[in-house]
Amino acid sequence: MSKMAAVAAASSTSIAPIYRAPSSSRAPPPISTLTLPLTLNHKNLRSLHISNSLSKPTSSTATTSAPTTEKLSFSRFAPDEPRKGADILVEALEREGVTDVFAYPGGASLEIHQALTRSNKIRNVLPRHEQGGVFAAEGYARSSGLPGVCIATSGPGATNLVSGLADALLDSVPIVAITGQVPRRMIGTDAFQETPIVEVTRSITKNNYLVLDVDDIPRIVREAFFLATSGRPGPVLIDVPKDIQQQVAVPNWDVPMKLPGYLSRLPKNPNELHLEQIVRLISESKKPVLYVGGGCLNSSEELKRFVELTGIPVASTLMGLGAFPVGDELSLQMLGMHGTVYANYAVDKSDMLLAFGVRFDDRVTGKLEAFASKAKIVHIDIDPAEIGKNKQPHVSVCGDVKLALQGINKILESRGARGKMDFRAWREELNEQKVKYPMGFKTFGEAIPPQYAIQVLDELTDGNAIISTGVGQHQMWAAQFYKYKRPRQWLTSGGLGAMGFGLPAAIGAAVANPDAIVVDIDGDGSFIMNVQELATIRVENLPVKIMLLNNQHLGMVVQWEDRFYKANRAHTYLGNPSNESEIFPNMLKFAEACGIPAARVTRKDDLRAAIQKMLNTPGPYLLDVIVPHQEHVLPMIPSGGAFKDVITEGDGRRKY
């Protein structure tokens, strides 16, 4: 066996799953015992029972006990009937409850697509670029809590998934990506469209596989979905050589998973003594504040109950928006670089910081030594790599935030805590800051303030739309001025900051939530990076609304140029330099080319009616909102700065 084949063989058996650092959005269903939902869809639900319980040490044997599986009635094949590896792969997806995939075909994945046409359970939503497919799978997962599935061919098809996989790892999004690969005998020969995608993606996936035996497909697919959705969620990649897809075999659906190391590292139930200690610290504090992130998206009800029992104000990260209702009187909205003054003030002055489902990201903390410098820190997170990584906590619990909050709430309720904890003076102090430094914006003549456009959208949708964004100023304004009421309403590329995310993510959200209002709030720079997905929206007739905040510039970089580079423009103008008076490119023509209704609005007085028309029009719609490029996202704490450095005034109309 060649060296390359030996390495590949190791990856087809049991690669130790990689626990990666960064993220904010964590844990789907609670993983306190290993009775886990294997079918992650509302249809054909069944359970996987694994003998190892998290409350006990796991076995040191190489294989996990065989899960019990039901005989599924939807198989197109008789139990002993041979079928292609591609058909085994598709049926394995069906058994995981997959109903939608985002797959773009090519030579090395052709067999998989042929098998998909034979499935009456799985619908393929055809993206127009593989990056559009993986971002759509993310939008599906982020908005539903179910794993998203994307499929691409080998070589450039597979490498086009890289940004989406990195994004999913950083934001803890459950994704299963499947790629075609050249036949096994050609691996390592620099064959046409050959890329060692397992090696390329090793550091940006939670785990990945190269399938070298057709009989491994049922186990590998089962493991991939389990890994993607358990513990701290993340992306898993399965690379399937073409000859494996073509090989005929009879699948064994009862082969056990081989994840002893991973199972042994999954967090245990929170220790009640630690929870008691947290309750005691809260009762001793005078100025506590909650700092909640994406790890709280699956524990929103428990979080709201905790706030009800304690009266502690809540500051949210970018990824945590919606875990606690933004419009609640105890909400401080977002903290961090572009967070509210009062959220950052609360953290700065607090004596107790309750950090739940967060990772102390640099865009939140700024200068680490100055962040919550007066506070005792309690950190609860499902990933042990995050505890103490950036900021050392006084008390830490490595476990599911949902289970920890349930335990804390139970202790508080047993003690009749409601009404006993009195933080009124602290809340009044923060309310003074809200009055002193409200979120606002200025209006200049008939020009449309971008913040106002989002505010109007919030009013007309009653805060109930699913919002996706690209990356830049429009993203921050969407975080600041839309009042999210519930988890999974807010879809944005947080950790990676991938431009071009908004439009395909909206596609995924619309597929997963067919009855929801889905709006992509985008910037002209981000929008054009995946503009080809307008074709997918039209062909699938998805009711995605696109509100484009078009300032003809790379707005966030322009803001930094204004503030720190004497407004020297270094390739941040996205229009046509030879004719700056015209809007270029004409976004309405892109929509027209794909048969999507579109309109442009330039005056503030016309905006409300234009947004209402967008919302009232059946199917997709693009609204091109022309906004001034001089606007700055405020407040702003400069990178590496502290709360004392916060900027609250100014824009590109003045010099610095």
Rounded Cα distance between 271 and 26, Å, is: 20
Active-site annotation holder among 193, 246, 277, 532? 193
Give the DSSP H or E segment for 550.
strand 544-550
3-class DSSP state of 408: helix
Rounded Cα distance between 281 and 43, Å, is: 44
Answer yes or no: 130 catalytic: yes
Tokens read off for 251: 């699948």
Answer yes or no: 192 catalytic: yes
* CA gyration radius, the chain: 25
CA distances from 244 to 10, 216, 240, 451 (A): 17, 10, 7, 53
CB burial readout 321-340, b (16+ within 10 A) else e: bbbbbbeeebbbbbbbbbbb
Active-site annotation holder among 84, 206, 242, 391? 242
Which residues are 355's β-sheet partners?
291, 379
Rounded Cα distance between 477 and 339, Å, is: 10
Active-site annotation holder among 334, 352, 499, 556? 556
Token match 């006084």: residue?
A: 394
Active-site annotation holder among 56, 74, 192, 286? 192
Answer yes or no: 556 catalytic: yes
Residue 22 per-residue DSSP state: -
Q: CB–CB of 448/604 below 8 Å?
A: yes
Active-site annotation holder among 91, 94, 130, 223? 130
Rounded Cα distance between 22 and 233, Å, is: 12
Q: CB–CB of 400/27 below 8 Å?
A: yes
Rounded Cα distance between 278 and 615, Å, is: 46
Residues in the chain: 656
Answer yes or no: 442 catalytic: no
Rounded Cα distance between 445 and 251, Å, is: 69
Tokens read off for 82: 């041979």
Residue 281 per-residue DSSP state: H
First to last CA, the chain: 65
Q: Pick from 195, 143, 204, 215: which is nearest to 177 by CA?
A: 204
Q: Which amino acid is at 507?
A: I
Answer yes or no: 369 catalytic: no
Tokens read off for 298: 């699956």
Tokens read off for 631: 């606007």
User: Which residues belong to the active site?
Assistant: 130, 192-193, 242, 556
